[in-house]
Every structure is written in structure tokens, then in C-alpha cells.
Structure 1
Amino acid sequence: MKKMTRFTQLAIILMLVALLAACGSNNNGNNSAAEATTPSANASSANLSEQPADENAVRTLKDAMGHEVQVPAHPKKVLAPFLEDPLTALALKPVAQWGAAGVPQQYLQDQLKDVPVLNMEGGMKPEEALSYGPDLIIFLAPTYLADGSYEQFAKIAPTYVLSDNEADWRGNLEKLGTLLNEEDAVKTALEKFDKKVEDAKAQLGTLPSEKTAVLLQADGEKGFKLFGPNFYGGETLYKTLGFKQPAIVTGDYDTFSIEKLADLKDVDYIFVISGPGRGKPPVDNSLWKSLQAVQNNQVFDADSGHWFNANIIANGLIIDDILKDIHE
């Protein structure tokens, strides 16, 4: 009886040993499987380094009005009325574009034809801005904001006022590049534009230094306006390409009576703002007929879409127009 008991105890002990050995073997197998599916520390580091930058990252930047703005590092839905030209130069599309009476800037439509047009009558409305779900709203200058409206837009999305000098298109392009992390694209665009100016000057030769020119906005028999060297196309005409200003051009955008046409008598070239809704020159007026530029067929259309503008693409198109119309 005692022998049987000892035998039974021995059998139980042997069974326990076998069971423990089996468990140990299974645990080793599980550990191996875990090691096969869990990346090593080195592998984890390598994968992280290949991941794109945090799409939700923001930068705190101070705008032209002194606001501290939490700007997305990688904005995807930018709303920037009347900044479509520089955005397009940087190969960026806004979620909606500026328009006058529902008509956008025509010279940009090759790139923006599929972009909705804002109702800009009286300025951009907060409720319309909200409908496009922007993650960044940019205004060129404080003058583009109605009094008290900044906070309304800031509740919709981070809102940044770019500049206190809306006429400084080059500086504003650089500011836009910094804001959108597109500094390299800005550098490339400016280098291309500067090369275009250099080539244009070479093609024009001594003409700009010898010839006078005006950019005129006509209003039939009521009179006319002249663009100065700091006003839209006038800057390209006078400052960029160096055409001479006649004595009558002293301001930036002055209005004259029809009798003052006599002061344009000896002007070599007249560029007339043209396009839908623009006034026509007084072609039947004797003063107009007496102008040297008229008699020499040196009066040219200047499409208001880009001549009534001052941005990198528009300025390039103005240069193209001048080279097409004027030759040494």
C-alpha cells in the first residue's frame, strides 16, 4: 500500500514537471511572436523621422495691427481677398477669390477658374467667410477691414493683417511667403520677375529715358485721371521701366478737366485704361485729336484687370503689354 502511494506521488510529480516544461515552451513562443510584431527602439526612431511635420502645428506671429495670431504652420484653406495674384505666383490656391460685382480678376482665371468668387460689395462679410471653412484669413492691410470687424473674422479662423503699406507689393510678397512658409517660392518668383525686367530694359534700350508716357483713365468729355509713379500701373511705367513723366504728372491719381488735355500735347505714349465699365477717351474732341500720341498712333489700350493693379503677375503682364506696343 505504501509502495502504491509512493508510486502515485512520483507519477504526480512527473506530470507536474512535464506540465511546467510545456508552459515554459509556450511562453517562449509567445515572447518570440511579440518581438516579431513590436518595432525595436531603433526602428521606432527611424519611422518617426520619416513622418511629416505635425499638420496641427501653429506659430505665434504678430500682424501689422499688432495682433498676436496663432497661425497654422501648414494652412490648407486660405482666404485672402485681393491677394490672389501673389498667392498664384507661389502656386497656391485660395478657397475663394475676390470679385467686383461677381467678376473675378480675369488675368488670373487660367489658374483660378474653378475657385468660387466672393461677394465683395461693401467688403468681405464674416458669414460668407465662415461658409468656406478657412483655417487662415489674410487681409492685405487694415484698410481692407471695416471698423470693428477684425474680431468677427478672428472668431472664424486665425486672422492676419499682412501690411501697413499696401502699395509695397514686393515687400508684401515677402511677408506673405514668411507667413505661409513659402520663402523659397518667393525667392524664385522675384528672381524670375527681376530677370524679366532686365530683359525688358535691354529690349527697350534708350526709349524710356528719352520718351514721355502717361497712364490715363478717361471719362469721356468729363475729364480724365492720370496714374503717378506710386499708383498701380504707373509704378511699372515710371519706376520699373523708367519712362519719363510729363510735367502734368505730379500726384499718384489726380483728376483733370477735359481742358487739361492740352498739357498732354507733346507726350509720346498714352496708355488708356480699358475694360468693361471703363470710360472711353474723347475721340471726337479737338484737343484729343491734336495730341502728338494720337496723331502718331501711339495710344494703346491698358487692360484694367492688370494695369489697375500692383502685384508680381500683374506687373509682368504690364511689361508684356509695353513691349508689344513700343519698340526702339
Structure 2
Amino acid sequence: MNEDEEKRPLRHAIFYRLTDVQYVELPDRQEQELHAAHEHMIITVTGGTGALQANGERHALSRGACYIFSPNIRIVLTYSGSDEGAVGGLSYYCLTFDSVGGEKAKEVAGTAEPDPFPCLGEVACSPFSYCVSELQGLYEKRHEQDELEAFRSDIRFQQLLLFIMQKNLPLRTESSVRRAMELSIAHIKQNYREELTVDKLAEQANMVRWRYSRLFKELTGEIPLHYLNAVRVEQAKKLLASTDDRLFNIAQSVGYSNEYYFSRRFKQSVGLTPGQYRRHQRENIRVFAPFIEDYVLALGIRPIMQFSHDDWGRQEYLGLDDVPEFNVVSDSEAALSDFAPEFIMLDSGIERWGMDRLTSLAPSIHLTYKGEEWRSTLYSIADLLGRVAEVRPVIADYENKATAAKAKLSRSIKRQTVACLRLSAQSILLYGGPDNGYTGPVLYRDLGLTPHSLVEKLAKGKRFVELSMAELVLLDADHLFITIDTISGRQIELLQSPLWRSLPAVRNGSVYEVDFLSWMNYGVLSHHRKIDDVLRVLS
């Protein structure tokens, strides 16, 4: 069924009349063309495999497939081989029917065309055993002369159509559709150990497979089998962390048929083998995580080496004075090898600084995350390091601090405007609003500061924009936070220019230089530092 067919209302006062029923066994390498000029057609496959072509589309056929077509459509069926237990080629029932009693609706609509049946295309007809039983009964009575038996067959056909409509017409309300999908998702969570297929799940939800899969992805963001795999992996994590069960037993208990398949799926999902994940939950492993140290340290783990850069230096705000530095620009893998890492975590810097050269030294994982979603990133890293219990207190500590700071700032600066600039010898970058970038979510959302109008106008929906001199002139914010990108040196000619000195914030002494690596960072400890810096100058 397509989108338009889903929305088509059920016509009232219509009786559907069966005009013919055939049972066909199509031999190998043969095809059959079907056409009904003025009647609808139902094709239901009972055995074999093949293909159906209609309206320029090709559909694979196997036992259980059921299609309904409107009048005057040419259909070609071909047989490709028997499925298990099928004999005699592609076997199917073909029924034709028309509508009676829709004259009033046609008159109102001003058309003589036959009323379309409300379910067209591929339709669900499960349980299939009931469908086959009804089709067989109709076929056996197709030549019935007794009026009572003929009438009984008419009723049987109406019941078959009612059965198909109940299985395929859209549920009456959006809430009931959502409820059906929520029940299916709950079923997966409760019965992940069972052998679940999309066909079984769709049948339980009383939907055809394609519609079920589409709605499932709309609700969860995942196709059904990927979601099922994620549920199984999460359960396996709990068992790996809390038991000494063999991997074979864990695989069986969460729904995988063998240990090899389980291990492969687990590694694809988590980035570690089950054995590595279990060890990380129980031991203090030696971690190297360049430019992710903020997250690692927040979880109570000190890395074996820390990020440093020729121009930017190291993240001094972390206080890792006793931790050796690894220069991502100039140091080779030998410098890291001497400290015997057991686990390496890398982010987007893997491409920027060629960090893939380090992955041969220890089990490694490339983290992909949206920086603004630091809470979920912290959870992901904690899961890999066996520190999930530490995450909630870390987040709560930050949120309590931000709430208290927001109240204090609301009293001290009220509606004065703020902007954040990143300055280098080549460019002036204005950082974005409350949803994007290193600084906006902290300044404008967590602390409730008021962004200057240029932030909304030029950087809305962006992490930052480059300002021209003409645009900089318009930046009459009450307060400016600036950070200097020293990758091209600290000599910023702009800061000595008449244009810069003319800005209101500069004239009023309301420009505050802040630490580059703590403000250009998404980690929770860097956000603590931002709050401290803001309170120091504005509260």
C-alpha cells in the first residue's frame, strides 16, 4: 500500500461481488499474464517462488505473499523455483471481484469509475493458514448451484475481505498507531532472547512488513534488527560486568546462536571485544586519550600521557602537571609505546594529526560524537572504561553549579549582551548561540546570558562564523570574551587597530581574554572553567 492508499477513506454502502476464483500451478520457466478490465484482482501465493510485474514494478513472490490490484492493470507472473516442500511450480489463487452498491457515491463524485478497494498493493494476510482455508473453501464452491450454499460463499468472501481490511487499513488514530509500535518495542526489550524476525514483529503489530519497518525507524531511529541487536548488546554488557559466565553462555542467554557471531556483533557495536570490555570494567587500565583527557579525568582516571601541541601547548586547566606530554604534531608512536598503553581513544584528531599511526600499539577506538552532546559522550566513554556509576554525580555537580551561577548572574548583569570571539592572525570568529559550538550552550543556555544580536543574526544554527571588518563594527555587545588562537602567533594586529578600540566593550574595559584550550573544548571540566571565568568578571 502506498501513502495515498493508506489515507483513502472506506466507502460506505458498497458490497463486493466475487466474479471468479482460480487456482493455478505455473510450471518452471513459464510466465502468465493476467488482466481484468473492470474488476479488482487478488493474487495469493501458496507455494514456490517467483516474481510479479505490475505498474512497471517487480516484486519477489513466495508463500504467504498477497497482492490486490485495481481494474485494468496488466500483471505478469513468472516461476523461479520451489521453496521447501512446494511442488508443482508457483502455486497461487487468483480472485476477481467488483463492487455493487456504490452508485450513490459515484453520482455525488460525478464519476462512472468503479469504487477502488481501500487496500491495494501488497497486503498482510496473517495468519496465513486462515487465509488459505477461506480461499480453498471459495475455490471448492466456485460452481455451487444451490442458492443457500452460493449465498454462504458470498458471505465467506465478504469475511475474507473484512479480514484483509482489518489487517491493512491504517489504525484509526495516530495515538493507536504509536501505541502498537510502543508495544512492539516493549516486546523486543522483554523477549530479546527469542528468535525475532521483522516478519514476526510486523505480524504481531498487525502491519505489513514495509509499513512496520518505516514506522519503527521513525520512532527509534533504527531499523528493527539493528535495534534488537543494540538491546542484546546492552544486556550482554551487564552480564560481562557482573558475572564470570563464559562468553558462549552469555551469547546464548542474550539471543545469539553462537559465540563467534556474538563477539563480531559486540565489537561492531561497542568498539571492543567482549573480553576487552569485561577487563575494562574490572581493572584500572592504562589509557591514552589525546584531547579527550577532560572526559577521562572527570571519571576519575588519569591518562598515561596527555595531549600537547606546538602552538597551543597542553590543557593546563586539567592540572595534569605530573603526566608526560605527547606532542600530536611531532612525537612518533615510539614516544607512546614506552608508556605501554592498554587502550587508546581517539576523536576527529585521528585525521587532523595522523593519529591512526598509534592504533597498532593497543586496542583502539575512534569516537564519533557531537560535541554539544557532552553528557551522552561522557556516558559512552564511561561505558568503555567501566565507570558508568560516576557519570550521574559528575553531571549533577555541573548542573548544580550552572544553576547557582545563572541565578547570581541574573542579578548582576541583567539583560546586558555578551559575545565570544576567537581571534587569530588570519580571522575573527564569532561563536554561535545556545545550541551550537564550544561556548554558546554554556554562556547562553546554562548561564542564561543574553547573546548579542549579531550572534542570532549571523551565527544562528552554526558553531561559528567568520566576521568581516564591516560586521565587526556592528558588534556593540556590552561584554566580549576573547580567546587567542596562537597557531599563527600571538601578534594580532586587530587588537591595536582604531576599529577594535572603538568597540563599546573595549572602550568600557569589558573585554576578557580567556584560556584557549579550556574554552575551545566540549568536556565537562572545560565547562566548569568557563563558568568560573564568567563569574570572576561578571558576578
- Scaled by the length of structure 2, the TM-score of the pair is 0.44
Structure 1: gaps spanning 5 or more residues: 1-52
CA gap of 1:83–1:208, structure 2 versus 1, over 3 A, is: farther
1:185 aligns with 2:393: no
Preserved CA contact (<8 Å) 2:345 2:367: yes
Q: Deviations over 1:161-185 (max 9, x none)?
A: 2333244222111111111111222
Q: Does 313-322 or 227-236 show the bigger shift?
A: 227-236
**Secondary structure in structure 2 of the residue aligned to 1:282:** helix
- Contact 2:481 2:514 (8 Å CA) reproduced: yes
Q: Which residue of 2 aligns with 1:227?
A: 431
Q: How far apart, CA to CA, are the structure 2 residues paired with 1:280 and 1:269? A: 20
1:241 corresponds in structure 2 to: 447
Q: Which residue of 1 aligns with 2:172?
A: none
Who is 2:376 aligned against?
A: 171
Q: Which residue of 1 aligns with 2:472?
A: 261
In the TM superposition, what are the counterparts of 1:182-221 in structure 2 within 5 Å? 182-205=387-410, 210-219=415-424
Give 1:136's aligned amino acid.
F
Task: Kindly provide the CA deviation profile for residues 202-240 of structure 1, in whole angstroms up to 9, marking residues without a partner as x.
Answer: 1112667722211112346x6511111322123311232
Match of 1:121 among 310, 321, 329: 329
Distance 1:243 1:106, change over 3 A: same
Larger relative contact order (CA 8 Å, sep ≥ 6) = 1
Q: What is the alpha-carbon distance in structure 2 between the residues aligned to residue 253 and residue 279 of structure 1?
A: 22
Residues 208, 242 of structure 1: 8 Å contact kept: no
Q: CA RMSD of the aligned region, Å?
A: 3.2
User: Once the 2 structures are TM-superposed, how far is the Cα of residue 67 of structure 1 from its aligned partner?
Assistant: 4.1
Does 2:299 match 1:96?
Answer: no
Q: What is the correspondence of 1:152-167 to structure 2 with a 5 Å cutoff? A: 153-167=358-372
Correspondence list, 1:263-278, <5 A: 263-265=474-476, 267-274=477-484, 277-278=489-490
CA contact (8 A) 1:63 1:161 kept: no
CA contact (8 A) 1:271 1:302 kept: yes
How does 1:285-296 map onto structure 2 within 5 Å?
A: 285-296=497-508
What CA distance in whole angstroms lies between the structure 2 residues aligned with 1:304 and 1:152?
A: 27
Write out per-residue CA displacement over residues 90-119 of structure 1, whole angstroms, 9 at most, x where no aligned residue.
22111111111283211112xx21111012
Distance 2:427 2:350 in 1: 32
The alpha carbon displacement at 1:154 in A equals: 4.6
1:283–1:115 distance in 2 versus 1, CA, 3 Å: closer
Query: What is aligned with 2:318?
Result: 108
Query: Could you tell me how far apart the structure 1 residues matched to 2:406 and 2:497 are?
Result: 35
Alpha-carbon deviations, 1:44-98, whole Å to 9, x = none? xxxxxxxxx98xx9x965467x745333322421111111112222221111111
How has the CA–CA distance of structure 1 residues 150 and 321 changed in structure 2, closer, same or farther, with 3 Å as cutoff? Answer: closer
Counterparts of 2:428 and 2:396, CA distance in 1: 36
Alpha-carbon deviation of 1:153?
4.5
Identical-residue share of aligned pairs (%): 27
Does structure 2 retain, via aligned residues, the 8 Å contact 1:100–1:119?
Answer: yes
Compute the TM-score of the two structures, normalised by the length of structure 1. 0.70
Whole-Å separation in 1 of the counterparts to 2:506 and 2:356: 52
Higher deviation after alignment, 158-167 or 314-323 = 158-167
Residue of structure 1 equivalent to 2:177: none
Q: Cα gap change, 1:286/1:101 in structure 2, threshold over 3 Å: closer, same or farther?
A: closer
CA contact (8 A) 2:424 2:484 kept: no
Instruction: Check if 1:134 corresponds to 2:350.
Output: no
Count of paired positions:
264
Pick aligned residue for 2:295 from 86, 92, 113: 86
- Equivalent pair of 1:275/1:305 in contact (CA under 8 Å): no
2:510 matches 1:304: no
